[in-house]
Amino acid sequence: MNPNLAKLQPYPFEKLRALYAGVEPNAALAPINLSIGEPKHATPEFIKRALTEHLNGLSSYPPTVGSVELREAIAAWLVRRHGLAAIDAATQVLPVNGSREALFAFAQTVIDQRRGDALVVCPNPFYQIYEGSALLAGAAPYFVNMSAANGFAADYEAVPERVWQRTQLLYA
């Protein structure tokens, strides 16, 4: 068993659910749910159609890297959406099932546990997986606080050089 499991914090949404126990919101107000990021809109018809038209493909696993067409579509969207010069779909796009999976796997891949002083620099507030993936990879998180004083932006220039020297991963 990984001894770093004991370092993990409770998942924040479980903690939030416990805090909400017994709380009755004002029925006259429409709540804004800021918890887990699940879709809030119905699945568009064209997606439902595409899924049902390709059900025969469910009997086998897709390639780990996704199809060429999918990676090219993602690369094209990134270029359009973010005004990038180019994205190489073959080497710069890797489809995943969710951000937690990718962020966790990435940390497990790049952090060298043989160095006992590895750090992962993370913005704070942060996505829970930043801390968890760092701890389970044998590194320690180093938090860069975002507050009103710094315009709610991470001030990476304020991170001490001694921290950067030990940093093996930056979540930004």
Radius of gyration of the chain (CA): 20
Question: What does the alpha-carbon distance between residue 111 and residue 109 come to, in Å, rounded to a whole number?
Answer: 6
Vertex 8: Cα angle to 171 and 155 (nearest 5): 30
What is the pairing mode between strands 167-170 and 140-145?
Answer: unpaired
For the ranges 11-25, 69-83, 126-140, the one whose mean pLDDT is highest = 69-83
pLDDT exceeds cutoff 70 at 62: yes
Band the pLDDT of 79: cuts 50, 70, 90: very high
Please state, as a whole number, how many other Cβ atoms lie within 10 Å of the Cβ of residue 105.
13
Of 150, 120, 124, nearest to 135 (Cα)? 120
pLDDT exceeds cutoff 80 at 13: no
pTM, rounded to two decimals = 0.68
**Mean pLDDT throughout 13-38?**
80
Q: Are 144 and 156 in contact (CB under 8 A)?
A: yes
Band the pLDDT of 35: cuts 50, 70, 90: low
Token code pair at residue 120: 């992962």
Which residue matches tokens 């951000």?
99
Lowest mean pLDDT among 6-10, 62-66, 94-98, 110-114: 6-10
Which residue matches tokens 């006992």?
116
List, in sequence order, the alpha helices (H) in the chain. 12-20, 45-53, 68-82, 89-92, 99-110, 128-136, 161-166
Share of the chain above pLDDT 90, in %: 57
Band the pLDDT of 39: cuts 50, 70, 90: confident
When the pLDDT of each residue in the chain is averaged and rounded to a whole number, the result is 89
pLDDT exceeds cutoff 80 at 37: no
Burial class (CB in 10 A: 0-12, 13-18, 19+), 68: exposed
pLDDT exceeds cutoff 80 at 1: no
Q: Which tens digits make up the pLDDT trace of 108-145?
A: 999 998 888 999 999 998 888 999 999 999 999 999 99
H or E stretch covering 168:
strand 167-170
Domain extents for the chain?
A: 63-95, 98-172
